[in-house]
Amino acid sequence: MDVAVIDAGGANLGSVCYALERLGVQPRVVADAAGLEGAGRVILPGVGAAPEAMRRLHAQGLVQPLRALQAPLLGICLGMQLLYEHSQEGDVECLGLVSGTVRKLPAAPGIRVPHMGWNVLRQMRPSPLLDGVGEGASAYFVHSYAAPLTADTVAASDHGGLFTAVVQHGRHCGAQFHPERSATTGARILRNFLEMEF
């Protein structure tokens, strides 16, 4: 399968590519709209801040092509947040492929922000993205902002309140955690995204 991984300036680009290679996929790293042509799957990794990431996507001429993309798309960490309509971080308009606004995680006694470390995934509805992922499976998170629970939420995690950990709206999917750093759980979700029918 032709898998395009978008270079949007995220520090996790290399580790996402290595994770795909471990699954037997040789991804293409792309930085413009022409690179999306012919892709069977597209992955949008991201680490950093939403305003900077959206500025880069605009500068690369990728915003409209991503909005019009027919291939299944997986956003990872910040890349997942960019799938939503809006982010509180910098009050920025995002891709608008999934309904909702990404908001800062609430700080509370004993709750550190950013949220860093392993956390349990709670399945909220059936999706092929979670095929083979057992109840109580954990994934590795690093983030300060998160998407709310909506009808598109596939799995949630709890850090001072529930937030969306896995999302699917049609062919638009996302993981708030880092599947490339989440051992067998992350590898299974990546494989599911590559193999599932949309």
Any idea which residues carry the catalytic annotation? 77, 178, 180
How many CB atoms neighbour CB 25 within 10 A?
Answer: 17
Amino acid at 53: A
* Cα-based distances in Å from 182 to 89, 156, 185: 25, 15, 6
Sequence-distant (≥ 6) Cβ neighbours of residue 125 within 8 angstroms: 153, 154
Q: Are β-strands 172-175 and 162-169 bridged in parallel, bridged antiparallel, or unpaired? A: antiparallel
Least Cα distance to 185 among 146, 134, 150, 143 occurs for: 134
